[in-house]
C-alpha cells in the first residue's frame, strides 16, 4: 500500500514562512491535496492537485510537488494558521491515503 510521511511538528515565527513536507515514493507523479484541521473542527481543503487553491483560501497558501516530496508553503504565517495539516493522494490500488499529519505552531 502507498504511504505518505509527514513531520510530526513544524514551528514558524509569526510573519515568517512555514513549509510542511509530505514524502512518498514518486509522489511527483500523483496529485497531492492538503487539508487544514483546527481543534474540534472538520478538515478544510486548502490546496488541491498540488498547487491549486479553493475559493476562499488566502494566497499565502501554496503548494508544490516533485520527485518524492510535496510541500505546503504558508507565507506570512498568522496565529490563525495554527492547526494540523494533512496531505492526501488517491492511490489506484489503495484508494484514499492520508499522511500522518503535521502540527503547525506559530511562535
Partner 1 sequence: QVQLVQSGSELKKPGASVKVSCKASGYTFTSYAMNWVRQAPGQGLEWMGWINTNTGNPTYAQGFTGRFVFSLDTSVSTAYLQISSLKAEDTAVYYCARVDIRDGDYFDLWGRGTLVTVSS
Can you give the binding site for partner 1, defined by CB under 8 A? 1, 31, 33, 35, 37, 41-45, 48-49, 54, 84, 86, 88-90, 94-101
Of 17 and 52, nearer to partner 1 (C-beta) is 52
In whole angstroms, the minimum distance from the beta carbon of 89 to partner 1 comes to 8
- Cell matching residue 22: 509530505
Of 9 and 17, nearer to partner 1 (C-beta) is 9
In whole angstroms, the minimum distance from the beta carbon of 3 to partner 1 comes to 12
d(CA 75, CA 84): 16
Max intra-chain CA distance, the chain: 41
In whole angstroms, the minimum distance from the beta carbon of 26 to partner 1 comes to 16
- Which residues, in sequence order, are CB contacts of 27 under 8 Å at separation 6+? 4, 65, 67, 68, 69, 70, 89
Amino acid at each position: 500500500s502507498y504511504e505518505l510521511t509527514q513531520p510530526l511538528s513544524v514551528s514558524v515565527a509569526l510573519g515568517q514562512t512555514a513549509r510542511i513536507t509530505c514524502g512518498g515514493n514518486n509522489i511527483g507523479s500523483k496529485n497531492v491535496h492538503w487539508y487544514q484541521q483546527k481543534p474540534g473542527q472538520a478538515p478544510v481543503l486548502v490546496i488541491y492537485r498540488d498547487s491549486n487553491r479553493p475559493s476562499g483560501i488566502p494566497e499565502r497558501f501554496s503548494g508544490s510537488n516533485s520527485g518524492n516530496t510535496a510541500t505546503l508553503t504558508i507565507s506570512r504565517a498568522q496565529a490563525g494558521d495554527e492547526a494540523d495539516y494533512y496531505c492526501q493522494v488517491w492511490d489506484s490500488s489503495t484508494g484514499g491515503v492520508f499522511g500522518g499529519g503535521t502540527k503547525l505552531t506559530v511562535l
